[in-house]
Amino acid sequence: MIASKPRTTLLRLALAVAVFACAGTAAAAPVAYQYDPVHSQVVFSVDHNGFSRSFGRLHVSGNLSFDATNWGDSSTHVIIDTAGVDMGDAKWNEAVRGNDLFAASRFPTATFDSTSVEKTGDDTGVLHGKLTLRGMSQPVDIPFRLNRNGRTIYGMHDVAGFSANFTLDRTLFGMTSNPNSIGRPVTVWLEIEAIRGDGAEAKEPDRGTTQ
């Protein structure tokens, strides 16, 4: 009996270590999020005849699998509503939705699917993936910043918020019209909030103050 005590102690220690290791592995697993369409949007800008830059807004939806401890295990699928583009003017909206540009009647959405995530700093990284627009797919690298990952001030949701900025060539997606009046490079900004949970409700109740 005396000789068995050390073995019993070692078994208990090994079991505790195994439980701790399993708990650590579970905690590090990617977490499912849904993009909040109310607080997520894409803003883009393109040169107009050299006089100024025109701006447009697009809304997004989709899902995110985010591992806060190992960004390399994260992934995302983003749906961009090109049919709902807002240029601030009804006629300009119609023109941008037309076949020369977004061709929204045939392709009402664009998509972005990540292939890998590269962490470059404490709160910065690069999202590598494929953008499909007008039925054409091109590789795109998106530098981004993790702004905050935590609970909202009302305690309603766990949210991960990101900002990103990059430039793409519109002609790579078949938008070659009006080369003398519409710029070729398009600057894109993303402001994204993702709510934790597969079936998360995207909108918090209006309490008369900023969320």
pLDDT at 62: 97
| Positive or negative torsion for Cα 104, 127, 159, 196 | positive
Residues 6+ apart with CB under 8 A from 147: 123, 161, 162, 163
pLDDT tens for 157-205 read 999 999 999 999 999 999 999 999 999 999 999 999 999 996 554 443 3
CA angle, residues 118, 171, 90, in degrees to nearest 5:
100
CATH no., domain 33-196:
2.40.128.110
Question: Which pTM was predicted?
Answer: 0.80
Share of the chain above pLDDT 70, in %: 80
Model confidence at 208: pLDDT above 70 = no
Could you state, in order of their start, the residue ranges of all structural domains in the chain? 33-196
Give pLDDT tens digits for 94-122.
Answer: 999 999 999 999 999 999 999 999 999 99
- 50 is written with which tokens? 């050299």
